[in-house]
Amino acid sequence: MINEVLHTLPQVLIDGLTLGAVYAIVALGYTMVYGILELINFAHGEIFMTGAFVGTAILLTFAGFGWLASMPALVALVLVLVVTSVVTGLLGMGIERVAYRPLRNAPKLITLITAIGVSFLLQDIVRFIAELKNGNYILTGPSLFSGQIGIKVSSISSIFNDASVKSSFFIVLIVAVIMMVTLDFFVNKTKWGMAMRAVAQDRETAALMSVNVNKVIALTFFIGSALGGATGVLFAIQYGTIDPYIGFILGLKAFTAAVLGGIGNIRGAMFGGILIGIMEMFAAANLPVISHGVLGAEYKDVFAFAILIIVLIFKPEGLFGKVSVEKV
Amino acid sequence: MVLKKTLSILATTTLAVGILAGCSGGQKNDTANNGGNGGGGGGSNVIKIATQSPLSGGSATLGESIKLGAQLALEEQQANFEKLGFKLELVPYDDQGDPKKGVANAQLIGADKQVFGVVGHLNSGVAIPSSEIYEKYSIPMVSPANTATDVTDRGLKTVNRICARDDFQGPAGAKFAVETLGAKKIFIIQDKTAYGTGLAEAFKKGAEELGAQILGFEGITVGEKDFNGVLNQVLAKKPDLIYFGGLYTEGGLLIKQARDKGINVPIMGGDGLDSSTLVQIAGDAVKNTYMTSAAGLATATDAGKQFAEKYKQKFGKEIESYSAYGYDAMGVLLKGLENAIKANGNKLPTRQQVAEEVRKVQDYQGVVTKVSFDEKGDNKYAKIYIYKFDEAKYPAKLENEVSKQ
């Protein structure tokens, strides 16, 4: 039994890391906004989805003009990532300005419902535009980085099977790591990052210390949404096909990852995302083996969420959360 | 304050308009009734036929094709019914692939006295509860696409279908997989819906009876995009055929991700894969994919080719697998309706009479299938077709067809 699990382990880890990296960056968006506003921004999953669509639309336009073939794939990727981040970043700021700022002093529940409303709105707007332009809202973008790389893990130890990797896996992982490291640096080492942490700790006092609270909150939404949108592009490149409903399930799991890591904690969100991704992939591949066929792969979410519950029972503030001391 | 006032004015206006609209609607019905009486008949002379299929959501491509096919058939028959003194109208409903929505629509259809028939649904899970409502109101339903056995096995008088049954599609697929493709070790994946699981189980039973070994029977979740976990199991078990019971959205991704992992064995699925979107999603990976379908290739006959051209001309879209079935289902329904009108001395028949006449239809020649209903409402001429994707192009190549007898 252990042998069977070990055989597939390299491949499971690779697939889990890819999925986990996506969860992790989306989780960052939830955690940043929560840290500052104590608002669960349920529209974040939809911002991720919008990013995927914007990115795919740009790629399709490039392909339509024949530019895609003439430019190196990496350049195209960077270009698409930057444009998409700016678009979704501005979208996030706009949502904050229109839907959340007028309600900032209202009870928390009201903003939560607004967030759910915004998320439905985004889903249907994107669906409408995609259907109008494409006749079908399930969109398949041009494939970049679709090469296969075999990793001979079996040469390390015969117990492992060989794994194979799409080259987009490296792109997803590298871009994700760059984004996470940059964000961590930004929040912990720069002046604006300090302002963000100050607002997270105490909004009124920060305002008294001449921090422009509105600007800081807008910036938080911009960064969170830009990261979410960029992740959408990565997702579209890795999985190829997107529809307006990808944000829902993924957003839910990313939110879970944020809670698992300790909501409000950026490093916690990264760790939680990767953990949930690997856990889910491990369960999908190995549950039937471990349970002797009683539980099928369809129970992977039950497995991942059971672990979440166990963690929260013993550590309610999450793995990395400190009990309401540092929140960003 | 201003806002409140505006709001109250707005509310009052809406209410007033609503009441007026209600009145005018009533009047229209009255005049229609009077006209009918004057013409020597009883009741109104407008006959509405409803379609119910998902026009939004994940299977909207298939759902819309049913509606458009039915629309084409209805519009062609309009002149014919005009001569009999009746005005045909189509009322499309969107069931969203959701049983709750389907039943709610069915209630609306039942309450509308002018509706005399339904073409639908796409999903068996929606058709089964909705048809209970049709039975209550005696509205005949002709299904273009529902393959689940329970659709007709409940013995409802109003429910008919022109496509084949699942308990035939699964075994026909298994027979082809084991005997023609020589598959001995099969891995089955299903999407945990009534359709996917039912089909996968029927296939499993058929394959086991033919002596194939089932290496795994796993489920995935509809709406997810990453199936690498399940595929890692497939990779470890090394089957020589993968069977997928589910729809094209998940199927396309599954095929693509399987090929990305270097799983190059044939992948087989049911009619849920039968859509051009499958090819869009999977791209080149779709090669070496087989599917069984209750839908025949419409363009195989001259009548079918003409139909495809008309469809393209009118709607600007290529036909989908069930377009022609939507067309034929409407054709059968209208045939039954016409017979009922004639049997009733060119007067408006009751819904019961229409339902009886629809069930009695024998040897109706449609563009894609011949239709004769048996006592349960199944089509005696229904066949299972097996298709193969040789290249990333839709529709797929017809490999084989299996008939019931």
Mean pLDDT, chain B, whole residue set? 85
Q: Is the pLDDT of residue B38 over 70?
A: no
Please, which residues 49-68 of chain B have a Cβ atom closer than 8 Å to chain A?
Answer: 58, 60-61
A94 pLDDT tier (thresholds 50, 70, 90): very high
The answer, for B85 touching chain A at a CB cutoff of 8 Å, is no
Please, which residues 280-299 of chain B have a Cβ atom closer than 8 Å to chain A?
Answer: 280-281, 283
pLDDT at A158: 67
Q: B69 to chain A, minimum CA–CA distance in Å? A: 17
pLDDT at B44: 65
Mutate to test the interface with B, among A237, A241, A278 (most CBs of B within 10 A): A241
Query: B167: which residues sit within 8 A by CB, 6+ positions away?
Result: B149, B202
pLDDT at A80: 92
How far is B109 from B130, CA to CA, in rounded Å?
10
pLDDT at A154: 67
Contact residues, chain A, for B218 at CB < 8 Å: 288, 296-298
Q: A295 to chain B, minimum CA–CA distance in Å? A: 9
pLDDT at B12: 59
For residue B155, is it within any domain? yes
| Helices A2-37 & A266-290 angle (0-180, nearest 10) | 150
Query: Residue B253 is nearest to which of A239, A298, A301, comparing CB atoms?
Result: A239
Specify the long-range contacts of residues B298-307, CB closer than 8 Å, at least 24 apart. B298/B323, B298/B324, B298/B367, B298/B368, B299/B395, B300/B398, B301/B367, B301/B368, B303/B367, B304/B367, B304/B368, B306/B367, B307/B72, B307/B367, B307/B368
Domain shared by B70 and B184, yes or no: no
How far is B325 from B383, CA to CA, in rounded Å?
13
pLDDT at B144: 92
Domain shared by B287 and B399, yes or no: yes
For residue B273, is it within any domain? yes
The answer, for B236 touching chain A at a CB cutoff of 8 Å, is yes
The dihedral sign for the CA sequence B7, B9, B10, B14? positive
B24 pLDDT tier (thresholds 50, 70, 90): very low
Query: Token match 């689940």: residue?
Result: B148
Domain shared by B263 and B222, yes or no: yes
Domain shared by B80 and B198, yes or no: no
Question: Cβ separation of A241 and B217 shorter than 8 Å?
Answer: no
pLDDT at B28: 40
pLDDT at A323: 59
Contact residues, chain A, for B279 at CB < 8 Å: none
pLDDT at A143: 74
Contact (Cβ atoms closer than 8 angstroms) between residue B169 and residue B294 = yes
pLDDT at B254: 93
What does the DSSP 8-state code read for residue A142? P
Q: Is the pLDDT of residue B36 over 60?
A: no
Q: Is the pLDDT of residue B279 over 50?
A: yes
Question: Cβ separation of A285 and B230 shorter than 8 Å?
Answer: yes
For residues A85-113, average pLDDT: 92
What does the DSSP 8-state code read for residue A326? -
B19 pLDDT tier (thresholds 50, 70, 90): low
Domain shared by B285 and B360, yes or no: no
pLDDT at B37: 38
How far is A59 from A48, CA to CA, in rounded Å?
17
Domain shared by B141 and B176, yes or no: no
B75 pLDDT tier (thresholds 50, 70, 90): very high
- Under 8 Å CB pairs connecting chains A and B tally to 105
The pair of structure tokens assigned to A225 is 């949404």
For residue B38, is it within any domain? no
Higher pLDDT: B22 or A316? It is: A316
Please, which residues 140-179 of chain A have a Cβ atom closer than 8 Å to chain B?
Answer: 140, 143, 146, 148, 161, 164, 166
pTM for this entry: 0.72
Mutate to test the interface with A, among B64, B191, B201, B225 (most CBs of A within 10 A): B225
Question: Cβ separation of B233 and A12 shorter than 8 Å?
Answer: no
Domain that holds residue B87: 43-164+302-373
For residue B152, is it within any domain? yes
The pair of structure tokens assigned to A3 is 């042998």
For residues A91-115, average pLDDT: 91
Proportion of chain A above pLDDT 90, given as a percent:
33
Contact residues, chain A, for B219 at CB < 8 Å: 296-298
Chain B's closest residue to A293, CA to CA, is B216
Q: B196 to chain A, minimum CA–CA distance in Å? A: 14
The answer, for B318 touching chain A at a CB cutoff of 8 Å, is no
The answer, for A253 touching chain B at a CB cutoff of 8 Å, is no
Please choose, from the candidates B128, B82, B81, the residue with its C-alpha nearest in 3D space to the C-alpha of residue B331: B81
Domain count along chain B: 2
Question: Cβ separation of A297 and B256 shorter than 8 Å?
Answer: no
pLDDT at B31: 38
For residue B9, is it within any domain? no
The pair of structure tokens assigned to B279 is 């090819």
B90 pLDDT tier (thresholds 50, 70, 90): very high
Higher pLDDT: B356 or B59? It is: B356
For residue B33, is it within any domain? no
The angle formed by the CA atoms of residues B202, B216 and B196, to the nearest 5 degrees, is 40
Domain shared by B74 and B140, yes or no: yes
Query: Residue A281 is nearest to which of B192, B219, B229, comparing CB atoms?
Result: B229
Continuous H helices in B112-247: 124-137, 150-153, 166-175, 194-209, 228-237
For residue B337, is it within any domain? yes
pLDDT at B127: 93
How far is B248 from B253, CA to CA, in rounded Å?
8
Query: Token match 């229609």: residue?
Result: B32
For residues B38-62, average pLDDT: 76
For residue B2, is it within any domain? no
Please choose, from the candidates B189, B202, B388, the residue with its C-alpha nearest in 3D space to the C-alpha of residue B287: B388
Domain shared by B288 and B193, yes or no: yes
Q: Is the peptide bond before A44 cis (omega within 30 degrees of 0)?
A: no
The dihedral sign for the CA sequence A109, A110, A111, A112? positive
How far is A25 from A85, CA to CA, in rounded Å?
13
For residues B242-269, average pLDDT: 91
How far is B280 from B293, CA to CA, in rounded Å?
19
Contact (Cβ atoms closer than 8 angstroms) between residue A231 and residue A48 = yes
Write out pLDDT tens, residues B184-217. Answer: 999 999 988 878 888 899 899 999 999 999 998 9
The answer, for B317 touching chain A at a CB cutoff of 8 Å, is yes
For residues A33-43, average pLDDT: 85
Mutate to test the interface with B, among A3, A17, A132, A138 (most CBs of B within 10 A): A138
Beta strands of chain A (E only): which ranges? 139-140, 148-151, 163-166, 241-242
Please, which residues 169-198 of chain B have a Cβ atom closer than 8 Å to chain A?
Answer: 192
| CATH number of domain containing B239 | 3.40.50.2300
Out of B5-9, B239-243, B289-293, pick the least confident.
B5-9
Chain B's closest residue to A251, CA to CA, is B224
B11 pLDDT tier (thresholds 50, 70, 90): low
* Domains present along chain A, CATH in parentheses: 2-145+168-185+213-314 (1.10.3470)
Please choose, from the candidates B199, B363, B369, B248, the residue with its C-alpha nearest in 3D space to the C-alpha of residue B297: B369
Contact residues, chain B, for A250 at CB < 8 Å: 225
Domain shared by B284 and B353, yes or no: no
**Amino acid of residue B156:** L
B34 pLDDT tier (thresholds 50, 70, 90): very low
Contact residues, chain B, for A242 at CB < 8 Å: 225
Out of A163-167, A198-202, B176-180, pick the least confident.
A163-167
Q: B197 to chain A, minimum CA–CA distance in Å? A: 12
Write out pLDDT tens, residues A244-294. Answer: 988 888 898 999 899 898 888 888 998 999 999 998 888 888 887 777 777
Domain shared by B321 and B396, yes or no: no
Domain shared by B197 and B119, yes or no: no
The pair of structure tokens assigned to A190 is 């720069």
Domain shared by B63 and B143, yes or no: yes
